[in-house]
Amino acid sequence: MIIRIVQMKFLSGKEAEFLVIFRESSEKIQHFPGCRHLELWQDPTDTQMFMTYSIWESEEDLNRYRQSPLFVETWSKTKKLFSEKPTVRSLRQVWPFTP
């Protein structure tokens, strides 16, 4: 299992545009093979800062998604709205251990 956290900061006034993109793609992402869970978070003090939190069956599933037309289309729309480079973390659960 892989947990993927992507932190994105958007240009002022572009938050609503990002939310439209996310709403249009989130159900498709959640139904992508290997995706177990997807959440979107917003910083309460910096409303231009969002994070996606997703859980994937495997790194291979995550990479298949990242190479898919769905990701390419969604990311190309989203990255135009960034005010700074996003940060990305992939994590593996250590405790409690679940094989």
Q: What is the average per-residue pLDDT within 69-95?
A: 96
**Residue type at 92 in one-letter notation:** R
C-alpha closest to that of 7 among 85, 99, 94: 85
* 40 assigned to some structural domain: yes
* 98 assigned to some structural domain: no
Tell me, what's the pLDDT at 59?
A: 95
Domain that holds residue 72: 2-91
Q: What is the average per-residue pLDDT within 37-58?
A: 97
Tell me, what's the pLDDT at 96?
A: 81
Question: Which residues have a Cβ under 8 Å from the Cβ of 40 and sit 6 or more positions away?
Answer: 22, 26, 50, 51, 52, 53
Please say if the pLDDT value at position 98 is more than 70: no
Domains held by the chain: number: 1
CATH number at residue 64: 3.30.70.100
DSSP category for residue 12 = T
* 22 assigned to some structural domain: yes
Tell me, what's the pLDDT at 57?
A: 96
* 18 assigned to some structural domain: yes
Q: What is the average per-residue pLDDT within 73-89?
A: 97
Share of the chain above pLDDT 70, in %: 97
Residue 94 — very low, low, confident or very high, per pLDDT cuts 50/70/90? Answer: confident
* 85 assigned to some structural domain: yes
C-alpha 40/C-alpha 94 separation (Å) is 23
Residue 95 — very low, low, confident or very high, per pLDDT cuts 50/70/90? Answer: confident
Residue 99 — very low, low, confident or very high, per pLDDT cuts 50/70/90? Answer: low
